[in-house]
Amino acid sequence: MTSATPIATRHGTFVAQFNDIGLCRLDFPGKALVPKLVPKPAGLAKCWLASAAAALKSLLLGLPPRRLPPLDLSAGTEFQQLVWRQLLKIPLGQTRSYGEIAGRLAKPGASRAVGSACGANPIPIIVPCHRVLAAHRRIGGFSGGPGWKQRLLRIEQAEFVDELGTTELDTFYRTVTP
């Protein structure tokens, strides 16, 4: 059984989907239909929703969540699940490259496969695929849509190179120094 529940944030309304194992999907605002009639969650689902909402809101404020809801990552292939578990190890405000993740999985030639796994991540933000960058700290792709990866990295104050080739740190220093 899967249930979809909206989670309202200052960045829009996300849609969380839960199954018998836990949170199995999180959609960005505008990416999924928000259910009109949502039954009040009960039991474990109520606890998981509260945990997911609190974790999401903390992350969107640039704060580490106190705890995560149970995550069901079984929708992915074995390789995708390995990548997603690696993503959970990247600390808030830090980034890794697709190549670094591939290396940590002992698959040094699998950078593109890591990128594909990040793109297939069913629980973005909570499983932080936005913290994975292309070579030389360039943004790379992101399934959340235009601007979301940059927005999330800015919230976390992580350094990355924008489309113009400047780092966010460079942009910060230009605005605060005469």
Query: Which residue, 47, 60, 45, is CA-closest to 8?
Result: 60
**Which value, to the nearest 10 degrees, does the dihedral of the CA atoms of residues 16, 82, 80, 127 take?**
30
Q: What is the set of domains in the chain, with CATH numbers? A: 3-60 (no CATH), 78-173 (1.10.10.10)
- Active site positions, annotated: 129
How many residues are there in the chain? 178
d(CA 20, CA 152): 29
Beta strands in the chain (DSSP E): 3-9, 12-18, 23-27, 96-97, 132-133
Residues of the chain under the 50 pLDDT cut: 170, 172-178
Let me know: does 41 contact 30? Beta carbons within 8 Å: no
- pLDDT score of 142: 87
The token pair that represents 125 in the structure block: 């933000």
- pLDDT score of 173: 43
CA distances from 109 to 103, 104, 105, 121, 137 (A): 8, 11, 10, 20, 18
